[in-house]
Chains A and B, each alone.
Chain A
Amino acid sequence: MRLTCPLCGERDRREFYYYGAEDYLHRPSEGAPLSEWDSYLHLRDNVAGVVRDLWYHEAGCAQWLVVTRNTVTHEISGVELVAERAK
Chain B
Amino acid sequence: MRVDGKGLIDRTKPVRFCFDGRDYAGYKGDTLASALLANDVRLVGRSFKYHRPRGVLTAGSEEPNALVEVVGPSNQTPNVRATVQEVFEGLVAQSQNRLGSLRFDLLAVNDYLSPFLSAGFYYKTFMWPRAFWEGLYEPLIRRAAGLGSLSGRHDEGVYEKAFAFCDVLVIGSGPAGLMAALTAGRAGADVILCEESHALGGRLLSDGGTIGGLPAGDWVAQVVAELEALPNVRIMVRTTVTGAYDHGTYGALERVGLHKPARPNLPRECFWRIVAKHAVLASGALERPVAFENNDRPGIMMASAVRTYLNRYGVVPGRRVTLFANTDQARGVARDLMAAGVTVAAIVDPRPDASSVEDCPVHVGAEVVGSRGRLGLSGIQVRKGSEIIEIETDCLAMSGGWNPTLHLTCHMNGRPRWSEELAAFVPMEGAVPGLVAVGAANGSFSTHGALVTGHAAALKAVEALGRKVSVAVPEAEDMPYRIKALWAVEGTGRAWLDFANDVTTKDVKLAAQEGFRSVEHMKRYTTQGMAPDQGKNSNVAALAVLADATGRGIPETGTTTFRPPYVPVSIAAMGAGGRAEGFAPQRFLTSDQASRDRGAPMIEAGLWYRPSYFPKPGETTWREACDREVRMVRETVGIADVSTLGKIDIQGRDAGRFLDFVYTNTFSTLPVGRVRYGLMLREDGHVLDDGTSARLGENHYLMTTTTAAAGLVMRHLDFVHQAFCADWQVRFISVTEAWAQFAVAGPKARELVLSFLETPVELPFMGVAPVRIGGVDGRLFRISFSGEEGYEIAVPTRYGEALFRDLVARAETMGGGPYGMEALNVLRIEKGFITHAEIHGRVTAHDIGMEKMVSAKKDCIGKAAATRPGMWGPEREQLVGLKTHAPISAGAHLFVPGTEVHRETDQGYVTSVCWSPTVGAWLGLAFLKDGRARHGEKIRLVDHLRGLDVICEVCDPVFHDPEGEKLRA
Which residues of A come within 8 Å of B, CB atoms?
A: 1-2, 12, 17, 19, 24-25, 27-28, 30, 32, 34, 37-38, 41, 56, 58, 62-64, 74-76, 81-84
State A74–B864 Cα separation when bound (angstroms): 36
* B859-A41 in contact (CB<8A): no
Q: Which residues of A contact B50 (CB under 8 A)?
A: none
Would you call B246 and A34 a contact (CB within 8 A)?
no
- A64 touching B246 by the CB < 8 A rule? no
Residue in contact with A37 in the complex, picked from B245, B723, B864, CB distance below 8 Å: B864
Taken together as a complex, chains A and B put the C-alpha atoms of A64 and B723 apart, in Å, by 8
Q: Which of B163, B275, B864 contacts A28 (CB 8 A)?
A: B864
Whether B249 lies near A58 (C-beta < 8 A) is no
Q: Within the complex, which residue of B412, B715, B721, B723 is in contact with A74, where a contact is CB–CB below 8 Å?
A: B412
A-B contact pairs, 18 of them (CB 8 A): A1-B247, A2-B249, A12-B163, A12-B273, A12-B275, A19-B719, A34-B867, A37-B868, A41-B684, A41-B865, A56-B719, A58-B715, A62-B714, A62-B718, A64-B719, A76-B247, A82-B722, A82-B723
Instruction: Give the Cβ gap from B957 to chain A, nearest Cβ, in Å.
Output: 29
Residues of chain B with a CB closer than 8 A to A63's CB? 718, 722
Contact of A41 among B683, B714, B867 (CB under 8 A): B683
- Does B439 interact with chain A (Cβ within 8 Å)? no
> Which B residues touch A17, using CB under 8 A?
715
List of A residues within 8 angstroms of B145 by Cβ: none
Instruction: Report how far A7 CA is from B376 CA in the complex, Å.
Output: 65
Known: A2-B247, A37-B864, A82-B722. 20 other contacts (CB 8 A): A2-B249, A12-B163, A12-B273, A12-B275, A24-B683, A24-B719, A24-B723, A27-B683, A34-B864, A34-B868, A41-B865, A56-B718, A62-B714, A64-B718, A64-B719, A81-B722, A83-B722, A83-B723, A83-B726, A84-B726
Q: How far in angstroms is the closest Cβ of chain B from A87? A: 10
Q: DSSP majority for the A interface?
A: mixed
CB neighbours of A24 from chain B (8 A): 683, 719, 723
Bound complex: CA A4 to CA B160 (Å): 27
CA distance A84 to B721 in the complex (A): 12
Q: How far is the CA of A58 from the CA of B726 in the complex (A)?
A: 18
B267 contacts A by Cβ under 8 Å = no
Q: Mark B715-729, 1 if CB is under 8 A from A, else 0.
A: 100110111101000
Q: How far is the CB of A64 from chain B (nearest CB, A)?
A: 5
Q: Mark B536-558, 1 if CB is under 8 A from A, else 0.
A: 00000000000000000000000
Q: Across the interface, which residues of B come within 8 angstroms of A83, CB to CB?
A: 721-723, 726
C-alpha spacing A24/B724, complex, angstroms: 10
**What are the nearest 7 A-B pairs in CB distance?**
A83-B722, A2-B247, A83-B726, A30-B859, A1-B246, A82-B722, A64-B722
Select B865's contact among A19, A37, A64, A84, beta carbons within 8 Å: A37
CB distance from A39 to the nearest CB of B (A): 12
**Closest A residue by C-beta to B858:** A30
Picked from B249, B433, B715, the residue with its CB within 8 Å of the CB of A1 is B249
Name B869's closest neighbour in chain A (CB-CB): A34
Q: Does B248 contact A (CB under 8 A)?
A: yes
Give every chain A residue within 8 A of B715 (Cβ-Cβ).
17, 56, 58
Cα(A45)–Cα(B248), bound, Å:
29
Cα separation A62 to B433 with both chains bound (whole Å): 29
B722-748: CB near A (< 8 Å → 1, else 0) gives 111010000000000000000000000
Task: Establish whether residues A27 and B724, one from each chain, have CB atoms under 8 Å apart when the complex forms.
Answer: yes
Note all chain B residues with C-beta closer than 8 A to A74.
246-247, 412
Minimal beta-carbon separation of A23 from chain B (angstroms): 11
Chain B: which residue is nearest A27 at the CB level?
A: B724
Question: Cβ of A27: which chain B residues have Cβ within 8 Å of it?
Answer: 683, 723-724
Binding site for A on B (CB under 8 A): 163, 245-249, 273, 275, 412, 433, 683-684, 714-715, 718-719, 721-724, 726, 859, 864-865, 867-868
Residues of B within 8 A of A19 (CB): 719
Bound-state CA distance A13–B723 (Å) is 22
With both beta carbons as reference points, the residue of chain A lying nearest to B165 in the complex is identified as A10
C-alpha gap A74/B723 in the complex (Å): 25
Chain B residue nearest to A3 in the complex (CB): B247
Bound Cα distance A34, B194 (Å) = 59
Question: Which of chain B's residues has its CB closest to A72's CB?
Answer: B413
B246 is contacted by which of A2, A30, A32, A37 (Cβ under 8 Å)?
Answer: A2
CA distance A18 to B857 in the complex (A): 34
Q: Which residues of B contact A62 (CB under 8 A)?
A: 714, 718
CA distance A84 to B726 in the complex (A): 8
- Most chain B CB atoms below 10 A, which of A17, A27, A28, A81: A27
Distance of A10 from chain B, by nearest CB (Å): 8
Chain A residues with CB under 8 Å of B163's CB are 12
Contacts of B865 in A (CB 8 A): 37, 41
Set of chain B residues within 8 Å of A34, measured between Cβ atoms? 864, 867-868
Cβ-defined contact, A2 with B722, below 8 A? no
Q: Quote the shortest CB–CB distance from A66 to chain B (angstroms).
A: 10
Q: Name the distance in Å between B278's Cβ and chain A's nearest Cβ.
A: 15
Contact between B719 and A2, CB atoms less than 8 A apart: no
Docked CA distance A62–B731 (Å): 13
- Report the separation of the CA atoms of residues A13 and B39 in the bound assembly, to the nearest whole angstrom: 50
User: Which residue of B is nearest A58, CB measured?
Assistant: B715
Residues of chain B lying within 8 A (CB to CB) of residue A38: 868
Closest Cβ–Cβ distance, residue A30 to chain B (whole Å)? 4
Cα–Cα, bound, A27→B719 (Å): 12
Chain B contacts of A76 at CB under 8 A?
247
Partner of A2 from B275, B714, B864 at Cβ < 8 Å: B275
Closest to B249 in A: A2
Q: State whether B249 touches A32 (Cβ < 8 A).
A: no
Q: Are B723 and A1 in contact (CB under 8 A)?
A: no
Q: Bound complex: CA of A75 vs CA of B868, how far in Å?
A: 39
| B245 contact set on A, CB distance < 8 A | 1
Cβ of B273: which chain A residues have Cβ within 8 Å of it? 12
Residues of A contacting B723 with CB < 8 Å?
Answer: 24-25, 27, 64, 82-83
The residues of B that contact A30 with a CB separation of less than 8 Å are 859, 864
Residue of A nearest to B247 (CB): A2
Cα A32 to Cα B683 in complex, Å, equals 14
Bound complex: CA of A78 vs CA of B247, how far in Å?
Answer: 14
For residue B962, give the distance in angstroms from its CB to the closest CB of chain A: 36
CA distance A58 to B711 in the complex (A): 10
CA distance in complex: A1, B250 (Å): 10
Chain A residue contacts of B247, Cβ below 8 A: 1-2, 74, 76
**Chain A contacts for B726, CB-based, 8 A:** 82-84
Contact indicator A32/B718 (Cβ below 8 Å): no
Nearest to A30 among chain B residues (CB) is: B859
In Å, the complex CA distance between A64 and B726 comes to 11
Closest residue of B by beta carbon distance from A75: B433
Q: Please name the residue on chain B nearest to A4 by beta carbon.
A: B247
Q: Using Cβ atoms and an 8 Å threshold, which residues of chain B touch A81?
A: 722
| Interchain nearest-CB distance for B827 vs A (Å) | 34
Complex Cα distance, B723 from A82, in Å, reads: 6
A13 to B662, CA, bound (A): 29
Contacts of A25 in B (CB 8 A): 723
What's the Cα separation between A24 and B720 when bound, in Å?
Answer: 10
- B577 to chain A: closest CB distance in Å? 12
